[in-house]
Amino acid sequence: MSLVSEIDFGTPAVKSPETVSLTIDGQAVTVPEGTSIMRAAREAGIKVPKLCAYDMVQSFGSCRMCLVEIKGRPGTPASCTTPVAEGMEVTTQNQRLAKLRRNVMELYISDHPLDCLTCAANGNCELQDTAGEVGLREVRYGYAGANHLDQEKDASNPYFTFDPAKCIVCSRCVRACEEVQGTFALTIDGRGFASHVAAGMDEDFLQSECVSCGACVQACPTATLIEKSVIEMGQPEHGVVTTCAYCGVGCSFKAEMRGEEVVRMVPSKDGKANHGHSCVKGRFAWGYANHKDRILKPMVRAKVTDPWREVSWEEAIAHTASEFRRIQAKYGKDSVGGITSSRCTDEETYLVQKLVRGVFGNNNTDTCARVCHSPTGYGLSKTFGTSAGTQDFDSVADADVVMVIGANPTDAHPVFASHMKKRLRAGAKLIVVDPRRTDLVRSAHVEAQYHLPLRPGTNVAVLNALAHVIVGEGLVRDDFVRERCDTEAFADWVAFIKRPENSPEAVAKHSGVPAATIRAAARLYGGAGNGAIYYGLGVTEHSQGTTAVMAMANLAMATGNLGRRGVGVNPLRGQNNVQGSCDMGSFPHELPGYRHISDEKVRALFEHDWGVSLEPEPGLRINNMLDAAVDGSFKGIYIEGEDILQSDPDTAHVAAGLAAMECVVVQDLFLNETAVYAHVFLPGSTFLEKDGTFINAERRIGMVRKAMRPKNGYADWEITQLIARAMGKAWSYTHPSQIMDEIARLTPTFAGVSFERLEREGSMQWPVNDKAPTGTPIMHVGGFVRGKGMFLVTEYVATDEKTGPRFPLLLTTGRILSQYNVGAQTRRTGNVVWHEEDRLEIHPHDAEQRGVRDGDWVRLASRSGETTLRARVTERVAPGVVYTTFHHPETQANVVTTDYSDWATNCPEYKVTAVQVGLSNGPTEWQTRYEAQAERSRRVAEAVPAAE
Ligand code: SF4
Ligand code: SF4
Ligand code: SF4
Ligand code: FES
């Protein structure tokens, strides 16, 4: 697609049921009441010159470029700040207005460097364009007087520069930072001639509280704020609209290209999940696609201690196929399996589970959702009838009370967090349930009414206590329960929840949250017009993860907070396509669309379509595969885009399982940690190199489009197809759209989905079928998918992971904004300036007891293992709790996490580990070994041709 900028309407769209009719330059126009004249004109195709207006932020009216005449009104009002009125007659162009605009432009240009030809924004500069539009021919004031031309450039941010010499002080950046991002990092400092844009306390961008979302860069009409990549590479010449490959928000972007090189990523205003916004990862952290560490040629080796041997694709695929056949012949059909990737597309994930079921002939398929949101799937399907989140992201704009439980959206789901914070600034109330004082608890212009800093592992107890208050204080929505829910189950639940052990006073003792705070929070949520719950892995990654999901569902049903906008129970999914990988049948017990493998009719459907017979028994989960490997019955695995050695709990056990296998095939971009145990390495492709779809946390199916040819030669779906063909199946897909057609044919919730429709609609939220031809933004409207909503008794059972004299502290883990998951991508980008290493957060009291000071190296030990990392002494964590991230393989927090897991789904209990912390004398033994191994891997990476 040629590079056509999205239209900037000057001011945001207004939602109003009332309309207003007027004429602009003689043209009749009808728009919603409250629309600015500027926007009404642009919607009618009339462009009014402008500089300070921008349709992502409210108008400011400072530049005076957009003056218009209105019949019967004196003067020349600014069209960006003047709302339309019935019968208004507006003139946007005449000699008088042109002269006024030229005069204004002259003043701007007299204090602007005239280096247009060598400026990085040349050809894409609104100042330049507007000067042309108003017919500027001379600058009468000259450059002799005081000016700003020798101001110093700030290049501290890794991705963009700030050149104050080019600034026209339009404040678009300041408003974007406030209104779009909600960080408030920028201000206009000083007055009159001295007024200037200041980051933080007038420091450089890197030192300030800027989170590098890039909203200001996108807003800037000049080259003042501009991407370093544009300065280096020049202006892009074509664009490809695609979906971010990082988190579950699923932001839509235009990859702006020169040939096959990305120049920059610009968030799409048409993107229904992000509405033109992004975070630092999606906008800037795409450089990993070209990183020299990327492996582009397949490699094999007989033993994991042998050096890698680079081979042709033919040899690698033939070797893989013959190894799997050999293993199955020797150890049985069930001795091999596969792991699908939540980073790959739906079509690729679908093919991996199809390979396992239809070619390997068993159901030994699993996915990383096992270790994050499997309790969501189970808990929500038991209570509501489907495992999906209930709302679209936009729904939060109608919430009156938002309860965030075990989630840190400003770090892990930043664009949704910005959206949520906008609603909170507009008056919605906030309850945060989290052991840590996350940014949401208190940030610029946002403050939680209640923070419930519960002890890790006590979610269920606290949720039950909230429900206890709601039931005890008459806050149950009886009408909703009577009409929409199973009333017998409700009565059982009420009897349970009223029990004294569920009272806030009883729960306060083990959760550490004062009873009064629990009561107040329950009253706030229970009394809300619209109460919305958003939750994350701080809920699911527990031995009672599924119970906690059910407890939230109970709360929402009891208070009638389901089935409309502004309410719901919403999982914030981690990886970009974790929703899709679950939808596509990655779990061992479910075919695509969450249909149980034991269902004969469903199986018959797939058997007929695929021309195979399917096993009716569920296969092995990841941890069962590893157990079986250690026991000697599981011998081969195909792992697509997943680094289980780093991301799964109890690293020593994962390593033992992998080491016991005879053929480990890793398909990835980089020689990841799991590849240490691999016999075959198949280079994978990035999201920029293929077509397909991702599904975000709101069930939105978004298009991924190929912006360049795969540097490794094949998209991942093609590699899986090559393996299937080498194993004797005549798969013959020539494009992922054919795979989606097959998914739609076999999966009722996707029946109306096709690439052609997605091209037309932009994106759609499943279910998309005859009943919901344009998709389903809100679930359970008028009735639950399962019929009646099912209340379930959610007894609190304390985890077996207990603190004691040996391990007196509780470790919980999480993510940070600049890094993503195990860091394989983000560690290979400029994002490392913000997070070079994982650190252990420890409360000052616990630190002092151990003689630990900020920055000291400490040893973190549990009954599973130990690691060494540096300490950060902070009150963000409560006494008795420590916290770290898991982005760096040098520290691998999962060496410490245990093998405890959720009772229903085996989701590991990452969030609760009893640990001890003490000063360290140096790296642990495994860290020393790791460094040596990493050095070997680096040498391999250097030995193979680097990506251009
Ligand atoms: S990059 Fe984002 S956070 Fe930083 S100053 Fe710009 S808008 Fe604000
Ligand atoms: S940096 Fe750009 S957006 Fe901000 S005030 Fe200056 S010209 Fe306007
Ligand atoms: S919020 Fe998530 S999807 Fe959006 S740009 Fe950031 S990482 Fe990508
Ligand atoms: S665009 Fe209207 S005053 Fe600047």
Question: What are the pLDDT digits (tens) for 536-572?
Answer: 988 887 788 999 999 999 999 999 999 999 999 999 9
Percent of the chain residues past pLDDT 90, beyond the cut: 73
Alpha carbon distance, N-terminus to C-terminus of the chain: 23
Q: What is the mean pLDDT of residues 743-770?
A: 94
Q: How many Å lie between the centroid of ligand 4 and the Cα of residue 65?
A: 5
- Please give the distance, rounded to the nearest whole angstrom, from the Cα atom of residue 258 to the centre of ligand 1: 26
pLDDT at 945 over 50: no
Residue nearest to atom 3 of ligand 2 (CA): 220
Tell me the pLDDT tens digit for each residue of 244-301: 999 999 999 999 999 999 999 999 999 999 999 999 999 999 988 888 889 999 999 9
- State both tokens at 457: 């592992």
Residue nearest to atom 5 of ligand 3 (CA): 282
Q: Which-ligand-closest: CA of 126? A: 2
Q: Which ligand is nearest to the CA of 283?
A: 3
Task: Specify the ligand 3 atom closest to the Cα of 282.
Answer: 5
| Residue 157 token pair | 């941010």
- Spacing, Cα 228 to ligand 1 middle (Å): 15
Ranking 136-140, 320-324, 862-866 by mean pLDDT, the lowest is 136-140
- pLDDT number for residue 799: 79
Q: Which atom from ligand 4 is nearest to the alpha carbon of 59? A: 2
| Least distant ligand from the CA of 168 | 2
Can you say whether residue 831 is alpha, beta or left, with left for phi > 0 and alpha for psi between -120 and 50 degrees? Answer: alpha
Give the tokens for residue 804.
């004691």
Cβ contacts of 298 within 8 Å, gap of 6 or more: 310, 311, 312, 313, 315, 316, 317, 680, 681, 682, 683
Distance CA 347, CA 210 (A): 37
For a ligand 2 pocket test, name from 130, 220, 227 the mutation site with the most ligand atoms within 8 angstroms of its C-beta.
220
Mean pLDDT of the chain: 91
Cβ-proximal residues to 726 (8 Å cutoff; 6+ apart), any chain: 317, 318, 320, 321
* Any ligand 2 atom below 6 A from CB of 877: no
How far is CA 395 from each of CA 180, 379, 419, 569, rounded to the nearest angstrom?
17, 22, 10, 11
Nearest to 774 by CA among 785, 756, 783, 761: 761
- Given the structure tokens 């994106």, which residue do they identify? 763
| pLDDT tens readout for residues 651-672 | 788 899 999 999 999 999 999 8
Q: Is 608 exposed, middle or buried (0-12, 13-18, 19+ CB in 10 A)?
A: exposed
Select from 173, 153, 150 the least CA-distant residue to 51.
173
Q: Residue 404 CA to chain centroid, in angstroms?
A: 16
Min mean pLDDT across 82-96, 673-687, 786-800 is at: 786-800
* Per-position DSSP letters for 381-428, written without gaps between them: HHHTSS-S-SS-GGGGGG-SEEEEES--HHHHSHHHHHHHHHHHHTT-
The C-alpha atoms of residue 888 and residue 882 are separated, in whole angstroms, by 17
pLDDT for 526 equals: 95
Structure confidence at residue 947 as a pLDDT band (50, 70, 90)? very low
Give the pLDDT band of residue 77 (cuts 50, 70, 90): very high
In short, whether 337's Cβ falls inside 6 Å of ligand 3 is no
pLDDT at 920: 86
Q: Is the pLDDT confidence value at 787 over 70?
A: yes
DSSP conformational letter for 307: P
Q: Which of 212, 278, 821 to mutate to test the pocket of ligand 3 (most atoms within 8 A of CB)?
A: 278
Chain centre distance of CA 684: 21
Ligand 4 site-directed mutation target among 56, 58, 64, 100, most atoms within 8 Å of CB: 64
For ligand 2, say whether the CB of 220 is within 6 Å of any of its atoms.
yes
Q: Is the CB of 572 under 6 A from ligand 3?
A: no
Q: Which atom of ligand 4 is nearest to the CA of 81?
A: 2
Kindly report the pTM of this predicted structure: 0.91
How far, in Å, is the centroid of ligand 4 from the Cα of 906? 57
pLDDT, residue 846, reads: 94
Q: How far is CA 688 from CA 253, 287, 704, in A?
A: 11, 11, 8
Q: What is the pLDDT of residue 944?
A: 46
Mutate which of 62, 169, 210 for ligand 2 pocket (most atoms within 8 A of beta carbon) = 169
Please identify, by atom number, the ligand 2 atom nearest to the C-alpha of residue 171: 5
**What's the 52 CA to ligand 2 centre distance in angstroms?**
9
pLDDT interval class at 863 (50, 70, 90) = confident
Does the beta carbon of 443 lie inside 6 Å of ligand 1?
A: no
| Average pLDDT over every residue of 815-821 | 74
Per-residue 3-state assignment (H helix, E strand, C coil) for 685-752 = CCHHHCCEEEECCCCEEEEECCCCCCCCCCCHHHHHHHHHHHCCCCCCCCCHHHHHHHHHHHCHHHCC
Among 865, 819, 666, CA closest to 288:
819
| Contact status, residue 243 vs residue 250, Cβ threshold 8 Å | yes
Nearest protein Cα to ligand 3, atom 8 = 282
Tens digits of residue pLDDT in 462-506? 999 999 999 999 999 999 999 999 999 999 999 999 999 999 999
Ligand 2: nearest atom to the Cα of 166:
7
User: At residue 143, does pLDDT exceed 70?
Assistant: no
Q: Which position has the higher pLDDT, 402 or 799?
A: 402
415 lines ligand 3 (CB under 6 A): yes
Mean pLDDT value across residues 762-772: 92
| Cβ–ligand 1 contact at 550 (below 6 Å) | no
818: pLDDT strictly greater than 90? no
How far away, in angstroms, is 93 Cα from ligand 2 center?
26
- % of the chain with per-residue pLDDT over 70: 96
Q: Is it the case that residue 948 has pLDDT exceeding 60?
A: no
Strands 446-447 and 680-683, by their bridges, are unpaired
Could you tell which of 59, 130, 167 is best to mutate to test the pocket of ligand 2, judged by most ligand atoms within 8 Å of the CB?
167
Which pLDDT does position 939 carry in this prediction?
Answer: 56
Phi, psi for residue 386 in degrees, rounded to 5: -150, 150
Least confident of 55-69, 96-110, 697-711, 910-924: 910-924
Tell me, using a 6 A CB cutoff, whether residue 396 lines ligand 1.
no
Q: Please answer whether residues 277 and 213 qualify as being in contact, where contact means their C-beta atoms are separated by less than 8 angstroms.
A: yes
Residues with CB under 6 A from ligand 4: 50-53, 61-66, 78, 80
415 CA from centroid of ligand 3 (Å): 6
Q: Which residues pair with 809 in a beta bridge?
A: 915
| Mutation pick for ligand 1 pocket among 154, 173, 183 (CB with most ligand atoms within 8 Å) | 183
Which ligand 2 atom minimizes the distance to the CA of 168?
7
Nearest ligand (C-alpha, residue 151): 2
Rounded to whole angstroms, the Cα distance separating 291 from 928 reads 25
pLDDT at 144 over 80: no
Ligand 2 atom closest to Cα of residue 176:
3
What pLDDT was estimated at residue 192? 76
Spatial contact of 829 and 894, defined as CB atoms under 8 Å apart: no
Q: How confident is the model at residue 937 (pLDDT cuts 50, 70, 90)?
A: low
Q: Which residue has the higher pLDDT, 144 or 596?
A: 596
* Mean pLDDT of all residues in 919-933: 74
pLDDT at 909: 75
Q: Judge whether residue 636 has pLDDT over 60.
A: yes
Distant-in-sequence, close-in-space partners of 413: CB < 8 Å, separation ≥ 6 = 247, 248, 249, 407, 536, 572, 697
Looking at the CA of 286, which ligand is closest? 3
More confident of the two residues 913 and 244: 244
- To test ligand 3's pocket by mutation, which of 281, 410, 575, 687 has the most ligand atoms within 8 angstroms of CB? 281
Nearest-CA residue for atom 7 of ligand 1: 177
pLDDT of residue 935: 62
- Residue 66 · residue 92 · CB < 8 Å: no
Q: What is the DSSP letter of 110?
A: T
- Across residues 92-97, what is the average pLDDT? 95
Neighbours of 477 (CB within 10 A): 17
